[in-house]
A and B are shown apart, each in its own frame.
Chain A
Amino acid sequence: MHLIPSLYYKFRKFAKAVQLYLVIAGPGLVVMIADNDAGGITTYATTGAKYGYHLIWFLLLLIPIAYYVQEMTVRLGVVTKRGHAEAIFDGFGAFWGWFSLIDLMIVDWLTLVTEFIGMTSALQIFGISPWVTVTGVVILMGMIVINGRYWTWEKIAMLFCALNLIYIPGAFMVHPSLESILRDGFVPHFPGGFNSDLFFFLMANIGTTIAPWMLFFQQSSVVDKGLQEKDIPWGRFDTLLGSALTVAVAVFIIIVTGSVLQGVEVESASQAAEHLMQTNHWVGTFMAIGLFDAGLLGAICISLATSWAFGEIFGWAHSLNQNIKEAPWFYASYFLTLITAGLVVLIPGAPLVLITLFVQVVAVTLLPAALVFLILLLNDKKHMGDYCNTTMENWVGGIIVFIIVVLSSLYGLSVLFPNMFQ
């Protein structure tokens, strides 16, 4: 007799929870999906072309890894009300602060160049010249931030996040064998044995899942959004959902290239898109659109990460809730980063391949430092109070950070010295 009222009550409770989540959702989803940037899409596309479905299991392991690291930035941002750059300056002094800030600026700028490389190469497939792409992207990104409201920026960014899911229908269109995916992809193994090639791909996949800018971006984003301590559980859920979605997208990209291009030499996502177009026009088109979207999302987040960090340290107004007149330096640094990175791609004969490799090497100098600072700050009882890391969180987080530091360092070294692991 009480079944219907009880069901109705549960439904209302669920609907309220969803409503509340929709208000808080954003930083975790955006940072995680933007993590599948142009470089990430290239890594997944080449992984699928080289190893088919065989490394899907490895990508699934990256969900908890990404979650554990990014969840700490949510707690740190919410409790201290400081971005990661300011937290490092305050916690460890000016030396480590300047080191992190300058390194972040270099890594972000170089990464931004790679996003422009991805976007221009994606649209070149449709005959759009790099000049038009760069100009259009700068204008579009200007329009996104210029309205002076964090909420509007976040919802537009989430729209682009939704477009990142375009690989999912693409994967269904290539009619992959479910049996092969389950058999090859979900049983942990090393295809062809553990050799230097495979090691390079595993490291590249880890390297693209945790990037330094993500720590700075999510913490500043949580602060700018004004999340409170009571919102931490939803912030965690947002981050977990984002981690699952980003890996899901990666898996679907691997399914696409693993189904159609396995054995084909693929060096970039745009090349994969062109190959795919020869067999299935729409799947190739989806790959190219997805690549452009990934570059755009990456660019949106990375340029903001730098501007937030500089604003925090130099004491400039640095919120998306302020307009250009109220926060001129914040927007100036945003556009300066964006325009200079875009212009580099347009220079004839610019060493773009060298820049792409250099990003991975420079990132290796920042990532370990940022991760170590993160763990130490999360153990600072004076500032974190009840939200300090527990012993269990320290063990899990510590092991994850150790693995990331070792593997990303080896990845950086393998880029510097390509014959090192032969």
Chain B
Amino acid sequence: MAGNFQQFIQKIRDINQRYSEPHIEMSAAVRFSLLALRFYLLFLVSLMVYKFVTMLG
């Protein structure tokens, strides 16, 4: 069981290593899109957390 878990962690490390660098050309448009996406997702997650907290309250 522990061995399987170790193997799984190693697999994740390999994947992170293999895809450590983006292979798409990082033009200004791509950078801007990814930045906008980060802000958009942060906004959404904040709203969800807010909803969750108000529901609990």
* A interface with B by C-beta (< 8 Å): 89-94, 96-97, 313-314, 361, 364-365, 368-369, 372, 376-377, 379-383, 409, 412-413, 416-417
Q: List residues of chain A with CB within 8 A of the CB of B11.
A: 314
CA A152 to CA B51, docked complex, whole Å: 46
Q: 3 nearest interchain CB pairs? A: A91-B24, A93-B22, A94-B19
Within the complex, the shortest CB–CB distance from A227 to chain B, in Å, comes to 23
B1-41 vs A, CB cutoff 8 Å, 1 = contact: the mask equals 00000000001000110011111110001100110010011
Q: List residues of chain A with CB within 8 A of the CB of B21.
A: 93
| Contact across chains for B25 and A382 when beta carbons are under 8 A apart | yes
* B interface with A by C-beta (< 8 Å): 11, 15-16, 19-25, 29-30, 33-34, 37, 40-41, 44-45, 47-48, 51
Given contacts A364-B44, A383-B23, A413-B47, 19 further A-B contacts (CB under 8 A): A89-B15, A90-B19, A90-B23, A92-B22, A93-B19, A93-B20, A94-B15, A94-B19, A96-B34, A97-B15, A97-B19, A313-B15, A365-B45, A368-B37, A376-B29, A376-B33, A409-B40, A416-B51, A417-B51
Chain B residue nearest to A381 (CB atoms) is B25
- Among B20, B40, B41, B47, which residue has its beta carbon within 8 angstroms of that of A94? B20
Chain B residue nearest to A314 (CB atoms) is B11
Q: List residues of chain A with CB within 8 A of the CB of B37.
A: 368-369, 372
Q: List residues of chain B with CB within 8 A of the CB of A96.
A: 34
Within the complex, the shortest CB–CB distance from A17 to chain B, in Å, comes to 36
Mind listing 29 A-B residue pairs with CB under 8 Å? Answer: A90-B19, A90-B23, A91-B24, A93-B21, A93-B22, A94-B15, A94-B19, A97-B15, A97-B19, A361-B48, A364-B44, A365-B44, A368-B40, A372-B33, A372-B37, A376-B29, A376-B33, A377-B24, A379-B29, A380-B25, A381-B25, A383-B24, A409-B40, A409-B44, A413-B47, A416-B47, A416-B48, A416-B51, A417-B51
Chain B residue nearest to A369 (CB atoms) is B37
Within the complex, the shortest CB–CB distance from B18 to chain A, in Å, comes to 8
CA A365 to CA B48, docked complex, whole Å: 10
Q: List residues of chain A with CB within 8 A of the CB of B29.
A: 376, 379
Q: List residues of chain B with CB within 8 A of the CB of A97.
A: 15, 19
Q: Known contacts A313-B15, A376-B33, A416-B51: does B24 contact A365 (CB below 8 Å)?
A: no
Within the complex, the shortest CB–CB distance from B3 to chain A, in Å, comes to 17
Q: Main SS of the interface on chain A? A: helix
Q: List residues of chain A with CB within 8 A of the CB of B25.
A: 380-382
Q: List residues of chain A with CB within 8 A of the CB of B20.
A: 93-94
Within the complex, the shortest CB–CB distance from B36 to chain A, in Å, comes to 8
Q: List residues of chain B with CB within 8 A of the CB of A90.
A: 19, 23
| Contact across chains for A412 and B19 when beta carbons are under 8 A apart | no
Q: List residues of chain B with CB within 8 A of the CB of A89.
A: 15, 19
Within the complex, the shortest CB–CB distance from A209 to chain B, in Å, comes to 21
Within the complex, the shortest CB–CB distance from A300 to chain B, in Å, comes to 28
For A90, A91, A94, A417, the residue with the greatest tally of chain B CB atoms inside 10 Å of its CB is A94
Q: Known contacts A365-B44, A369-B41: does B24 contact A376 (CB below 8 Å)?
A: yes
| Contact across chains for A91 and B22 when beta carbons are under 8 A apart | yes
Q: List residues of chain A with CB within 8 A of the CB of B34.
A: 92, 96
Chain A residue nearest to B14 (CB atoms) is A315
CA A369 to CA B33, docked complex, whole Å: 10
CA A297 to CA B47, docked complex, whole Å: 33
CA A381 to CA B45, docked complex, whole Å: 33
Within the complex, the shortest CB–CB distance from B10 to chain A, in Å, comes to 12
Q: List residues of chain B with CB within 8 A of the CB of A94.
A: 15-16, 19-20
Q: List residues of chain B with CB within 8 A of the CB of A365.
A: 41, 44-45
